[in-house]
Amino acid sequence: MKLHADLNNSMPGVVDQAAKLGSMAFMCTMMANLLPFLAAMESKELLTNIIALGVLVITLVVNVSIQLETGVVTT
């Protein structure tokens, strides 16, 4: 998964804003699709995937926070 390159640079174009918001929506969709598969895993796989999910959630929260705080993505 690749994060956006410009976390705090202004991208005023409509296409740029749509690309950033679409990318964030894609990452959230990936996270939502992983959750049902956690129920069918063994304990060792489950621990590894829970840790990976935690890293993904932290990455998404920090990413969105930086973009909202700097005003890159307008709400």
Structure tokens at 10: 């202004």
Domains: count for the chain: 1
Range of the domain at 32: 14-70
Half-sphere exposure of 53 (CA within 13 A, CB side): 16
Q: Is 53 part of any domain?
A: yes
7 in any annotated domain: no
In a domain, 42, yes or no: yes
DSSP alpha helices (H): ranges in 1-75? 14-34, 43-70
Would 63 be classed as within a structural domain?
A: yes
Which two three-digit tokens encode residue 54? 């935690």
pTM for the whole structure? 0.63
pLDDT digits (tens, 9 = 90+) for 23-60: 778 878 887 887 777 777 888 888 888 888 888 888 88
Q: Is residue 8 situated within a structural domain? A: no
